[in-house]
């Protein structure tokens, strides 16, 4: 049992969903309950076998990026969008390219496609 503490790292090898559940240019939210607390992250589908994961926390204000579940991308799928203040992030590396936190980055969450599943790929770094 946890006290609702938010954590920023996950173990490797956790199956998140079948890879085809996220289409290229889209993203999906994941909340993992662990003994140490609850992890909030999202995965962006970059291509057929390529995904990127990020901690669901904007570097500008520390809020989750999406106000609506799974609504992380701009309508054209070109950028990750913080729905609170309009910050734009590159999907491939999480770097902010527009809005109030230009030059900062989302905290990476290591994920990968393995055997047609999206899985956690290792421990995430603590946010800076």
pLDDT tens digits, 88-100: 999 999 999 999 9
Q: Where are the domains of the chain?
A: 15-120
Average pLDDT taken over every residue of the chain: 91
- Summarize the confidence of residues 104-124 as an average pLDDT: 90
Query: β-pairing, 37-45 with 6-7?
Result: parallel
Phi first, then psi: give them for residue 6, nearest 5 degrees.
-90, 130
Q: What angle is formed at CA 32 by the lines to CA 51 and CA 81, rounded to 5 degrees?
A: 50
Tokens representing residue 123 in the block: 């421990």
Which class does domain 15-120 fall in?
mainly beta
pTM score above 0.75: yes
């Amino acid at each position: 049992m946890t006290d609702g503490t938010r954590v920023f790292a996950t173990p490797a090898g956790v199956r998140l969903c079948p890879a085809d559940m996220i289409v290229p240019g889209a993203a999906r939210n994941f909340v993992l309950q662990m003994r140490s607390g609850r992890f909030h992250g999202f995965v962006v589908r970059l291509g057929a076998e390529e995904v990127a994961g990020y901690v669901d926390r904007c570097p500008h204000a520390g809020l989750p990026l999406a106000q609506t579940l799974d609504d992380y991308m701009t309508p054209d799928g070109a950028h990750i969008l913080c729905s609170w203040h309009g910050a734009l992030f590159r999907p491939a590396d999480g770097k902010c390219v527009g809005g109030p936190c230009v030059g900062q980055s989302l905290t990476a969450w290591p994920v990968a496609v393995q055997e047609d599943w999206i899985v956690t790929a290792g421990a995430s770094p603590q946010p800076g």
